């Protein structure tokens, strides 16, 4: 095991991640159990009939569906509230991640609960609309919407929209930009320059982004990486992003996600339709099928997620390999990992079951093992000096 990290901090981070993973699996299992009870007990049918009896006017079915889903999600969250406290509040306070007083946490929880109910209700209401108007192939437009919102906006938003809303600050570091252009040429890209984000609350931003279109890209760093990393480390971080565009690796991964989403929607349609017919319902568009639709969608999505995460981990190792060979070698990787750990401690080598279920990136140990087996190629020019900004 490497010794570049603080072992007591790593042990606490490992325990914290294990507790969170166990609670995630437990929450997932309870969702299936509660959905099964809701389905088999007849409560779903009773709730649907009660709502229909209150809204007897024509074309009120959308309101019935929205209220049904909202009440079902609220009931699920109300039952799991103690588990939410256990999963979100107490572990944070127990592992050096202070979350504040319980009242503060509760206010944040209630806000997120309202947002979750609204989001889930909107998603399933949209699915039921598609089922009613496209009963035999609703999964096709659902997949198209998924591709546009999740995959399309996931790429277009950071690369196109964010720079317009938050114009990045130019770095004016000639040696760094020259090195970025050199690595970019190896990836088949034309790097136009480098910048960094200068605004608060960048927790969800990646360390670097390649804004722009096609092969012409601009490197934008997060404030943490720009101020806290040396020049070679900054090149390494950007090189990993370039590797995702090399040979259309990012596009291939996104295409796989779309195919998996189509399989999830199609499989959920088959399973839920069969269940609806067995219990005597006319079709899947009837809201009584919501519990089994939830089980089918989330169960298949979990299986698809395992496949998608495995592919992403493989692609992340390929990105590492490109950066190791062309942009700094194992020393740069180790320095980046050390600073990432200092910023937020993590488990260096978590158990395999946690990696398979929850991790999109390979473990630090796996990345370092790969680095030790590679020999970096010497750059054409001298590497850039350490950045002096702070």
Looking at residues 276-295, what average pLDDT do you find? 83
Q: How far apart are CA 325 and CA 178, in angstroms?
A: 17
Q: Say what the pLDDT of residue 312 is.
A: 95
How do the residues of the chain divide into helix, strand and coil, expressed in percent and rounded to 5? 70, 5, 25
Residue 157 has pLDDT above 80, yes or no: no
Which range of 16-30, 89-103, 166-180 scores highest in mean pLDDT? It is 166-180
Residue 67 has pLDDT above 70, yes or no: yes
Residue 52 has pLDDT above 80, yes or no: yes
Cα distances (Å, whole numbers) of residue 216 to 135, 185, 277, 338, 386: 43, 11, 53, 31, 26
Looking at residues 237-265, what average pLDDT do you find? 93
Residue 46 has pLDDT above 50, yes or no: yes
Q: How far apart are CA 14 and CA 250, in angstroms?
A: 30
Dihedral of alpha carbons 273, 277, 280, 282, sign? positive
Cα distances (Å, whole numbers) of residue 25 to 18, 272, 296, 299, 361: 11, 23, 16, 12, 19
73 CB neighbour count, 10 Å cutoff: 20
Q: Say what the pLDDT of residue 261 is.
A: 95
Contact 220, 198 (CB under 8 A): no
Q: With cut-offs at 50, 70 and 90, classify the pLDDT of residue 219.
A: very high
Q: Say what the pLDDT of residue 161 is.
A: 81
Cα distances (Å, whole numbers) of residue 240 to 107, 159, 165, 235: 39, 16, 25, 9
Dihedral of alpha carbons 179, 184, 190, 191, sign? negative
**Total H helices, total E strands in the chain:** 17, 4
Strands (E), the chain: 169-170, 190-196, 208-213, 216-221
Q: Say what the pLDDT of residue 94 is.
A: 47
Q: Say what the pLDDT of residue 387 is.
A: 52
Q: How far apart are CA 225 and CA 236, in angstroms?
A: 11
For the stretch 160-191, pLDDT in tens is: 788 888 899 999 899 999 999 999 999 999 99
For the stretch 231-245, pLDDT in tens is: 999 999 999 999 999
Q: Say what the pLDDT of residue 90 is.
A: 55
Q: How far apart are CA 284 and CA 271, in angstroms?
A: 10
Q: Say what the pLDDT of residue 104 is.
A: 74
Which range of 68-72, 108-112, 231-235 scores highest in mean pLDDT? It is 231-235
Q: Say what the pLDDT of residue 361 is.
A: 94
Smallest Cα–Cα separation from 71: which of 42, 38, 36?
Answer: 38
Looking at residues 321-347, what average pLDDT do you find? 94
Q: Say what the pLDDT of residue 87 is.
A: 62
Give the mean pLDDT of the chain.
86
Q: With cut-offs at 50, 70 and 90, classify the pLDDT of residue 13.
A: very high
227 CB neighbour count, 10 Å cutoff: 12
Helices assigned H by DSSP within 158-222:
162-165, 174-186
Measured at the CA of 277, the angle between CA 274 and CA 278, to 5 degrees, comes to: 85
Q: Say what the pLDDT of residue 100 is.
A: 54
Q: With cut-offs at 50, 70 and 90, classify the pLDDT of residue 307.
A: very high
3-state secondary structure of 193: strand
Q: In sequence order, what are the beta bridge partners of 194? A: 219
Looking at residues 260-284, what average pLDDT do you find? 87
Q: With cut-offs at 50, 70 and 90, classify the pLDDT of residue 385.
A: very low
Q: With cut-offs at 50, 70 and 90, classify the pLDDT of residue 327.
A: very high
3-state secondary structure of 42: coil
Smallest Cα–Cα separation from 72: which of 24, 107, 25, 123?
Answer: 123
């Amino acid at each position: 095991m490497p010794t570049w990290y603080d072992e007591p901090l790593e042990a606490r981070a490992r325990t914290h991640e294990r507790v969170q993973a166990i609670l995630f699996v437990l929450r997932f299992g309870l969702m299936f159990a509660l959905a099964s009870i809701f389905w088999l007990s007849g409560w779903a049918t009773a709730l649907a009939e009660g709502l229909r009896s209150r809204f007897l006017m024509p074309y009120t079915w959308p309101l019935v569906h929205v209220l049904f889903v909202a009440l079902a999600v609220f009931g699920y969250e109300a039952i799991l509230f103690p588990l939410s406290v256990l999963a979100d509040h107490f572990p944070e306070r127990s592992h050096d991640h202070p979350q504040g007083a319980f009242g503060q946490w509760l206010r944040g929880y209630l806000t997120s609960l309202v947002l979750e109910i609204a989001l889930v209700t909107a998603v399933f209401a949209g699915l039921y609309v598609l089922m009613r108007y496209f009963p035999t192939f609703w999964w096709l437009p659902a997949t198209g919407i998924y591709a546009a919102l999740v995959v399309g906006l996931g790429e277009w938003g950071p690369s196109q929209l964010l720079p317009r809303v938050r114009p990045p600050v130019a770095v004016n570091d000639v040696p760094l930009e020259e090195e970025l252009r050199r690595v970019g040429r190896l990836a088949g890209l034309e790097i136009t320059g480098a910048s960094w984000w200068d605004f608060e609350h960048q927790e969800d931003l990646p360390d670097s982004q390649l804004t722009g279109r096609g092969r012409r890209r601009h490197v934008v760093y997060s404030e943490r990486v720009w101020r806290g990393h040396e020049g070679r480390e900054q090149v390494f971080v950007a090189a990993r992003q370039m590797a995702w565009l090399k040979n259309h690796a990012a596009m291939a991964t996104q295409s796989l996600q779309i195919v998996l989403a189509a399989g999830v929607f199609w499989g959920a349609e088959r399973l839920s339709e069969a269940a609806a017919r067995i219990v005597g319902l006319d079709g899947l568009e009837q809201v009584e099928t919501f519990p089994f639709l939830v089980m089918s969608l989330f169960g298949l999505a979990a299986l698809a997620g395992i496949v998608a995460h495995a592919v992403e981990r493989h692609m992340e190792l390929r990105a590492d390999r490109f950066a190791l060979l062309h942009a700094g070698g194992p020393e740069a990787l180790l320095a980046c990992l050390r600073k990432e750990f200092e910023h937020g401690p993590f488990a260096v080598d978590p158990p395999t079951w946690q990696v398979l279920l929850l991790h999109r990136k390979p473990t630090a140990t796996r990345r370092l093992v790969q680095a030790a087996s590679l020999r970096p190629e010497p750059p054409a020019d001298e590497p850039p000096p350490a950045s002096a900004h702070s």
